[in-house]
Structure 1
Amino acid sequence: MAKGQGKVLAQNKKAGHDYFIEETIEAGMVLTGTEIKSIRAGKVQLKDSFVRVRHGEAWIVNMHISPFDQGNRFNHDPLRERKLLLHKKQISELVGAVKRDGYTIVPLKMYIKDGYAKLLIGIGKGKKDYDKRDDMRKKEAKREMERAFKARNQ
């Protein structure tokens, strides 16, 4: 897990619901113009985004960064593909993981660390419907136990 995370600006909560996350990697991003200003304002959405490895480079696809409000005609395209900054060893690790059956690379969080926008990406295996139902049952049982324990202590 990434150490010393700063302010979390965006989170992909659906990723934990749809995938078993087995490993996480912190990546930087190549941003243009006013994108960092929009990111600092928290106008980022990771909901339908994913990571694709192409020609030995990692790219994030479908990540929405809203155009900057005070921007001009040189504002960025909100859905453009953005290059991720990773070491070659990390990229080869991602390629090896994706070649396995049912694995994909999903963005989990975006945060600011030491003045730079960072993206936490995870290697995840897709959950089946029955896995999702089991997780929901466990979560509900845990909530019930906490409620009972809280009511008992009052």
Structure 2
Amino acid sequence: MAKKPAASAETPNDRVVCRNRRARHEYDLLEELECGVVLLGSEVKSIRNSKISIEEAYVRVQNREVWLLGCDISEYPQATYMNHEPRRPRKLLLRRREIRKFAEWASQKGLTIIPLDVHLKRGLVKLTVALAKGRKLHDKREKLKEKADSREMRQAIQKG
């Protein structure tokens, strides 16, 4: 009898492809949301090969539609003339009430929508976006100090 893979084991169809690591350092995340992305076939192939970068990407709400801008998906070499433009705007798939809620919040001063990660879920490309508030430099330093203090306390407790 064959063993089933553990639930925590990543399958090729369920994995994180790309993460925006700076986002959690530069922003306070208020609310996260998973959404789909409208892509071309060559873009999906490139994403599965981890040829994507969302470090400089951002999300905008225009005409009751949500768009991912600044995301760089490298061209897929085997696609030849059917290839895609690497930095084109891509539409995000959300429900109307989610769009309305996020657009309303994002219009407030100091709030923005940023992409956190791109992952595969049951073979489909999904994007996790978050409503965020930018941190000031002193907030970033304070967060790093808290992290260092908690690490020291954990080490002291372990040494006991």
Same structural fold, with TM-score higher than 0.5 when normalized by the shorter chain: yes
| 2:34 corresponds to | 26
| 1:125 corresponds to | 133
| 2:146 corresponds to | 138
Which shows bigger deviation, 64-73 or 10-19? Answer: 64-73
The whole-number CA distance in structure 2 between the counterparts of 1:71 and 1:147 is 52
The amino acid of 1:103's aligned partner reads: L
After superposition, the C-alpha distances for 1:45-101 in whole angstroms (9 at most, x for unaligned) are 110100001111000000111111322022111111000001111110111111111
The amino acid of 2:125's aligned partner reads: A
The whole-number CA distance in structure 1 between the counterparts of 2:77 and 2:117 is 23
The whole-number CA distance in structure 2 between the counterparts of 1:139 and 1:69 is 43
The whole-number CA distance in structure 2 between the counterparts of 1:144 and 1:40 is 39
**2:103 paired residue among 92, 95, 112:** 95
**2:80 paired residue among 69, 72, 75:** 72
Structure 2 runs not aligned, ≥5 long: 1-7
| 2:57 corresponds to | 49
How big is the shift at 1:143? 2.6
| 2:44 corresponds to | 36
**1:114 paired residue among 78, 100, 122:** 122
How big is the shift at 1:149? 4.1
State the superposition RMSD in angstroms. Answer: 1.7
The whole-number CA distance in structure 2 between the counterparts of 1:67 and 1:49 is 17
The whole-number CA distance in structure 1 between the counterparts of 2:138 and 2:16 is 31
**1:16 paired residue among 9, 24, 40:** 24
How big is the shift at 1:140? 1.6
**2:93 paired residue among 72, 85, 89:** 85
For the pair shown, the structure with the greater C-alpha radius of gyration is 2
Report the number of matched residues.
149
The whole-number CA distance in structure 1 between the counterparts of 2:53 and 2:150 is 29
The amino acid of 1:42's aligned partner reads: S
